[in-house]
Amino acid sequence: MALVGLIVTFAGFVLAAASVGISSSTTGRLGMVLVGIVLSLIGILGVINPAYQKNAVWKK
Amino acid sequence: MRIMKKVLLAFSITWCLALAGVVHAQAPAPEPAAAAQAPAAAPAPAMITDADISGVATPKAEDKAAGDPAGTITGTAADIPRADAAKGLAISDVVSAVGQNLIATNFIWTLVTGFLVMFMQAGFAIVETGLARAKNSNHTMMMNFMVYGVGMLAYWLIGFAIQEGGVGAVANLGGTAPLNSEYAITLFGKSWGLFGQKGIMLSGATYDVGVMVMFLFQMVFMDTALTIVTGTAAERWKYSAFIISSFIMGAFTYPLFANWAWGGGWLATLGSSYGLGHGYADFAGSGVVHSVGGITALAMAILIGPRIGKFRRDGTPNAIPGHDIVIVLLGCFILAFGWFGFNPGSTLGAAANGNLRISSVAVNTMLAGMAGSFSAMYYMWLRYGKPDASMTGNGLLAGLVAITAPSGFVNPMASVIIGLIAGVLCALSVEVVERKLKLDDVVGAISVHGTNGIWGVISVGLFADGKSNFGGAWNGVAGSVTGLFYGDMGQLVAQLIGVATLIGFVFTFSFVINMILEAVWGQRVTAKVELEGLDIPEMGALGYPEFVLKPEPAMGT
């Protein structure tokens, strides 16, 4: 699951960086960048962290 | 009677004549008729030749032998180097001296401010050690002590080359250009710089006085990013793993993002290539330094896990107080002092190219720090009934972190606003990190540097007022950096792309590296070592051998 989370996180960055080539309008780029940031945050906080919390020392 | 009339008549005539003379004498002289004037020929410009200055008086030998208590004969034309001693002082000598003095001013400024930033390592060291328990004080202090050397070694070997190898000429530092090779790819029809290729071990043509200044200044910034991670992972990070992890961060993680932002890489060219403002603008490193450090700290916190006893079985956190709040606040003051080098020094000069704005940068810095400490303190006071010292100190740091990127581009009012928001943001972020994400961050580095580093990056895109002028352009785009509130949405988009890169790329890169290190080496000490304290098992000596450490109270489970 951590690997999936890393892929999602990285995909968010790729989307944001690619926004400059995909769209020529500032508003369009802004939308894509924001989606990319949210995607990366989901990857980190919603996938990777919970995966590691499953084996947290305080649960043992 | 007749005689009397004649006398009276003569007297009257005389009086009249006298009065007429007086009146005539007091009447303003009539304007002389305007003489016809031929238009004056414009004077020919005075041309100064070598002959005019070669004979400039210089102090006599006998006067110099007598000493100069008033300083009137020290520093004269005699001190200007002559290219041709036989020919004497020439105009070219004087002009060259002006140029050298300008660059020397910039050298001194950048080097001295770099020395201040180096001293911030001491501030970070005592903040982190003070917030850790006494049984880990030697270990925590050693991590902060040696991160200086480990980072410098990595940076000298390869990190500086990756970051600055393609930056080209730096006008403030003399304009020589041995750092002239950037590896780039072509995407969407434009060049995307990825990393530099000159400057490994400062050898070859990069053995240059201007490059030396750049290396020192950039190195101390890099080390700030590295030391941030030690704060989050303290009290359970294996010392050997810390050395390897920090070396890789100094060699690759930090320099990559720094190249993209400062070394002429693709983030900086978002303006010139795609019309997004002036490209990603980060004056002194809210993103490059603090967010890279904070995001890497986040990756480490997830990987390494919390300290034993930090969380109960139901997930509620236990407070683990540090052992010396006095040195924590002293450390915060040292950091605030060093920040006068961090931000103002980022002009890389104090002469020409708009560099007198160093005064504005310094004032913005101190205002934001002050505002952050106030808002954090009052937030804690209102919420928990006490003005918490450690959060107040972190609030100061949060304000300083947040103003780091916009410090060169905003006005004092904006600085205060940015700092006020930073202080509260720091306190809120600490709660989220601990209570919602269940992550153990010993010093709050994720919130101070990660969260507020990102806030600082975004602040540029909002508050930059277009009044700065650093040589008429920034990142190759003419004009001044201007944010959304002053009319440029493109700048905000460029900043957000930087944020996405920090969160999406830097986190992934850091996490993968440390995940591999965890698999092949192991990052965390054993439970036995952790409970005993890392000083003896890891370092072989206690931080405070004269004191008897009392047993820790049982943590609620």
pLDDT of residue B55: 74
Contacts of A29 in chain B (CB under 8 A): 276, 493
Query: If you average pLDDT over residues B145-170, what whole number do you get?
Result: 97
User: If we measure between CA atoms, which residue out of B381, B429, B378 comes closest to residue B401?
Assistant: B429
Nearest to B448 by CA among B425, B479, B465: B425
CB-nearest partner of A20 from B270, B303, B311: B270
At B465, is the secondary structure helix, strand, or coil? strand
Q: What is the C-alpha to C-alpha distance for residues B283 and B464, in angstroms, rounded to an integer?
A: 11
Q: Is the pLDDT of residue B58 over 90?
A: no
Contact residues of B toward A, CB < 8 A = 187-189, 270, 273-274, 276, 298, 302-303, 305-306, 308, 310-313, 315, 437-439, 489-490, 492-493, 496-497, 499-501, 503-505, 507-508, 511-512, 515, 527
Mean pLDDT of B533-551: 88
Per-chain mean pLDDT for chain B: 91
Mean pLDDT for B373-395 is: 97
Q: pLDDT for B264-284, tens place per residue?
A: 999 999 999 999 999 999 999
Choose, out of A57, A59, A60, the residue to mutate when testing the contact with B (most B CBs < 10 Å).
A57
- Chain A interface, mutation test: which of B266, B269, B496, most A Cβ atoms within 10 Å? B496
| Contact (Cβ atoms closer than 8 angstroms) between residue B404 and residue B342 | yes
Q: What percent of chain B has pLDDT over 70?
A: 91
pLDDT at B18 over 80: no
Nearest one of B316, B556, B319, B320 to B435, comparing CA atoms: B316
Lowest mean pLDDT: which of A36-50, B93-107, B392-406, B424-438? B93-107
Residue B551 confidence (pLDDT): 66
Kindly compute the dihedral angle of the four CA atoms of residues B211, B212, B215, B221, in this order, to the nearest 10 degrees. -120
Residue B32 has pLDDT above 70, yes or no: no
Which among B302, B312, B496 is the nearest to A48, CB-wise?
Answer: B302
What does pTM read for this prediction?
0.89
Decide: B394 and B325 in contact? Cβ < 8 Å: no
Kindly provide the ipTM of the predicted complex, given to two decimals: 0.98
Distance from CA of B276 to the nearest CA of A (A): 8
Q: How many CA atoms lie within 13 A of B453 on its CB side?
A: 28
CA gap A18, A31 in Å, rounded: 12
What is the C-alpha separation between B53 and B49, in angstroms, rounded? 7
Write a three-state SS string for B163-200. HHCCCCCCHHHCCCCCCCCEEEEEECCEEEEEEECCCH
The kind and range of the H/E element at B243 are helix B239-248
| DSSP string for B398-439 | HHHHHHHTTTTT--HHHHHHHHHHHHHHHHHHHHIIIIIS--
- Provide the phi-psi class of B264: left if phi over 0, else alpha when psi is between -120 and 50, else beta: left
β-strands B477-478, B182-187: how paired?
Answer: unpaired
> Rounded distance, CA B342 to CA B368, Å?
14
The answer to whether residues B217 and B164 touch, using CB atoms and an 8 Å cutoff, is no
Predicted confidence at residue B485, as pLDDT, reads 98
**Residue B394 binned pLDDT confidence (cut-offs 50, 70, 90):** very high
Tokens of B204: 């070859």
**Residue B316 to residue B205: CA distance in whole angstroms:** 58
Using CA coordinates, name the residue in chain A closest to B492: A30
Using a CB-CB distance cutoff of 8 angstroms, which residues of chain A are in contact with residue B303?
Answer: 52
Q: What is the pLDDT of residue B38?
A: 58
Q: What is the mean pLDDT of residues B365-376?
A: 98
Helix (H, G, I), strand (E, B) or coil at B351: coil
Whole-angstrom distance, CA of residue B109 vs CA of residue B351? 9
Cα distance between residue A24 and residue B288, in whole Å? 27
State the pLDDT at residue B47.
78
